[in-house]
Amino acid sequence: MPAFVIPAVEGRTDRASTTEQAGTWGSILPAVWSFMLAARERGLGTVWTTAQGPLERELAGVLRVPYDKVMLATFIPLAFTIGTDFRPAKRVPREQVLHWDRW
């Protein structure tokens, strides 16, 4: 059965400084990514989505999450995939995004 995993992080970044935002998102993002990799290793597919963001307050209400203190950081659909014929995604050439010593 497919499921949604909804990682949450304490603290809201709505009006936070860039430093605070970096600290908060940097606390949750690696954990979610680790989870996604672990799922993949077990034959489960996941995908990072944020399109549901505008409904966060409503969803927090349904889930009884204290919206003022906790952010629903992302929504991760989780399910066994149809087949395992995965290929690397199309990417911008590395030279266009990698900078050495200076921008």
Ligand X SMILES: Cc1cc2nc3c(=O)[nH]c(=O)nc-3n(C[C@H](O)[C@H](O)[C@H](O)COP(=O)(O)O)c2cc1C
Site for ligand X in 69-98 (CB under 6 A): 89
CB nearer to ligand X: pick between 51 and 62? 51
User: d(Cα 24, Cα 39) in Å, to the nearest integer?
Assistant: 23
- Rounded to 10 degrees, the C-alpha dihedral 56/1/85/87 comes to 10
49 lies in the binding site for ligand X (CB under 6 A): yes
- Taking the complex as a whole, the smallest distance from the CB of residue 62 to ligand X amounts, in Å, to 19
Binder of ligand X out of 27, 34, 50, 81 (CB under 6 A)? 50
The answer to whether 59 and 38 have CB atoms below 8 angstroms apart is no
CB of 84 or CB of 100, closer to ligand X: 84
Q: Which of 19, 26, 51, 94 forms a contact with ligand X (CB under 6 A)?
A: 51
Q: Which residues of 48-64 are buried (b: 16+ CB within 10 A; e: fewer)?
A: eeeeeeeebeebbeeee
Q: Which residues contact ligand X by CB under 6 A?
A: 47-51, 89
